[in-house]
Structure 1
């Protein structure tokens, strides 16, 4: 069994949030050490005692300035980043949320972490995608609510 002495040896929990507008999704180009220059959803680390919904709302606000509601669970991925300078293991919880005000415009609140936000067609996503998002896309799962489910 691996030692938990280094932080890279302990899995972390990330929460990523699908903000949807029509058939588009909000993505930003990462500037962080893991997944630099890949396109990712707004999100971040789950804090101690925080619910997935609380984390989703907090991270979206911190990164984009957007207020969200109607937050719901979509899926999760279990990802090893072994080719990174500091290998890591992440469990990423994917959530879906609606903007409280559909006229809100995403801001680049953390320019040291993200080059900017844009709306991208789900069927024509930019490349490369951040690995947890790429895994989710490859699974065939869509973040869009099923119109037949009543969501």
Structure 2
């Protein structure tokens, strides 16, 4: 190149660095059962997961838990409490994802409520599963907890 000038590039500017996303997953317990749905989204497609979603700016974990449960299942919860957190990297994806998952436990505000599938494009439906006989495969963050021996019925 003459005069030492750098060649003009027609490529796009570099992508901003990836940052972790924060998700909130909610244990809703009924007797010895837990509410799970089969995911239809690209992350964890066809795995069973707790109701939940991404934390919004300025939102508390408990506010996010109640909002996501209401949006996805129509259920009203109360007495929400923090249980634990997992740090998950989905590196096998074309675009890797880093998800920090906050686990919350919530109590049904009215035990006569029935879950509804309010986001059928994201979930194949909700059902109650025995904690000692969970369906497979589980969404990775939940699988990590189960494999660690975590018990949402005993956690305080």
Counterparts of 2:56 and 2:87, CA distance in 1: 18
Q: Check 1:25–1:4 CA distance in 2 against 1; reply closer, same or farther (3 A cut).
A: farther
Match runs of 1:17-36 below 5 Å: 17-36=26-45
Give runs of ≥4 in structure 1 deviating > 2 Å: none
Shift of 1:4: 7.3
Shift of 1:19: 0.2
Shift of 1:10: 0.8
Match runs of 1:8-19 below 5 Å: 9-19=18-28
Match runs of 1:2-151 below 5 Å: 5-6=16-17, 9-145=18-154
Tell me the TM-score normalized by structure 2: 0.88
Shift of 1:132: 0.2
Shift of 1:119: 0.3
Tell me the TM-score normalized by structure 1: 0.91
- Contact 1:4 / 1:10 at 8 angstroms: preserved in 2? no
Counterparts of 2:85 and 2:102, CA distance in 1: 4
Shift of 1:13: 0.2
Question: Bigger CA drift: 131-140 or 82-91?
Answer: 82-91
Shift of 1:87: 1.3
Counterparts of 1:99 and 1:78, CA distance in 2: 27
What is the root-mean-square deviation in Å for CA atoms of aligned residues? 1.4
SS of residue matched to 2:151: coil
Q: Which runs of 5+ in 2 are unaligned?
A: 1-13
